[in-house]
Structure 1
Amino acid sequence: MGPSILHKGHLHLEYHSTQASWIIWKILKARQYLENTLITRAEFLSQQNYSIKNMYNRLRGTYTKIQWKKLICNNQGSPKWLFILYLALQRKLYTKDRLIKLGRNYSPTCPLCEGADENIRHIFFLCPISALIWQKILHWQGISKPVPGWLEEQNWAKSNAAGNNSKAEIYRMPLAGCVYYLWQERNQRLFQNKKRTKDTMLGQIIQDIHYRGTPTSQLAKQFERLNFYP
């Protein structure tokens, strides 16, 4: 029994030695994190309460808040809608002005209205076709406001549709759907020579919005009220 007890004691000491080494290693590694925050030893020791959040923010550094993030992150729209909306918000869609700068031989005319040169601000929503469709979708939601340009619409959304209430969520979903279907229509007219009427596009957008939003319990009552075509 004696040797067995000694063996167990040896394992016990070895375990605590390993644990102590691991703790020391973690402490030394934490020193590197503190150095990265540029906090001095005196400043650290003078803190009355240690805050993990404050240390995390110092490690992360300053950054510019993305004003339109809730248009993407809190949106019940289809993933493909959100992808196109993201590209539009980032000004990464290959509109004709960008294609021409890349050396592509395209007419600069907007395929939707055929009355002005195409760029991101024109197609969302200075183009008469896109402006009319978005105006009717806003009216369908009960929102009465003029349809401005793309940057102005983002600024309005930041102030009026960034919350978690059902009205804000319903605004964000149609915005994503409208941007997606306008871009789809633009591509069909440009590359496939296919054209849909404004009423057909509007009906498709409203139908798909209902399909996406009605199963959501928080939005179901709102969609009962909006159960019509604008």
Structure 2
Amino acid sequence: MGLINMNVWNRAAIAMLCWDLANNEDKLWIKWIHAYYLKGHNESSWMIRKIMHAKEIVDQVKLKEGKGMVKQIYDYLRGEQTKPKWKCLMFKNAASPKAIFTLWILLNKKLETVDRLAK
């Protein structure tokens, strides 16, 4: 349907945190992780381990500085996909939620029309 895949988006957000750890040491949470987990060699939490495992993704993606870094990683992980042509009909208009839902049902050929009800 052209919606965001939340599993892939989550992996992209975690990969961005890994990129932040490698490149930006001016943030407080990054300094804390470097001091407590990386240099202290303490037992790390599941969150830190997940961020560290995202290094493979960060190494593969060529990021451009600026905004939209999670989107850049998301687009890389998702690969080439064409956007549905009908997406602008559903999501970029001022229609009520009922009209959007009805259009969605119509596009999936599940709308109870007179001829379908006759069957």
TM-score scaled to structure 2, two decimals? 0.43
Q: Which has the larger radius of gyration?
A: 1
